[in-house]
Amino acid sequence: MFEMLSGLGDIWREIAHISELTGISVGVLVALAVLAYLDPTARAFAIRAAVLVSVAYASGLYENHVGRVDERAVWVAANAKIAKEAEARDTDAAKAAEAKYGPVIAARDRTIINLRQQVQNYARSIKSAPACPIGAPALRLRLIS
């Protein structure tokens, strides 16, 4: 009994699915099925209508597939174009930053080099200075810090 109810549920889901894709209401599809079952004279009409619905269903599936493939191709092309534009924009931004901040960075680098040279000259002058009156450990502390 439960298998029969399960089978009816499966049939109902398939009919609902067909009706969603074809645009034909579920009531019309059920009426055609009942007509084919109950009236032998209208069975030929119901079978032709069922074939027509099946053809419409298949063509709808095909249109859906082709449309999705075309849409996917458009998306892939658009994403490639956006990636190329982003790469060009990033390259331009790097060039602009180099042009704007390159001289500033170079000047700061020269300043750092000059300050390091001054520190080295000062350290040499302390080493060559006469001995510290407090003693060698105090001179060593002064050089470490």
Instruction: State the Cα–Cα distance between residues 70 and 74, nearest whole angstrom.
Output: 6
Other Cβ atoms closer than 10 A to 26:
13
Q: Distance (Å, rounded) from C-alpha 65 to C-alpha 73?
A: 12
The residue extents of the domains of the chain are: 2-144
- At residue 124, the pLDDT reads 81
Query: Are the C-beta atoms of residues 57 and 21 closer than 8 Å to each other?
Result: yes
pLDDT at 135: 59
Question: Number of C-alpha atoms within 13 angstroms, CB side, residue 144?
Answer: 6
Distance CA 25, CA 32 (A): 11
Helical pair 136-144 and 43-128, crossing angle rounded to 10 deg: 150
**pLDDT per residue of the chain (145 residues) written in tens, 0 to 9:** 678 888 878 877 877 777 776 666 767 777 777 777 787 777 788 778 778 877 887 887 788 888 888 888 889 999 999 999 988 888 888 888 888 998 999 999 999 999 999 988 888 877 766 655 565 555 555 555 4
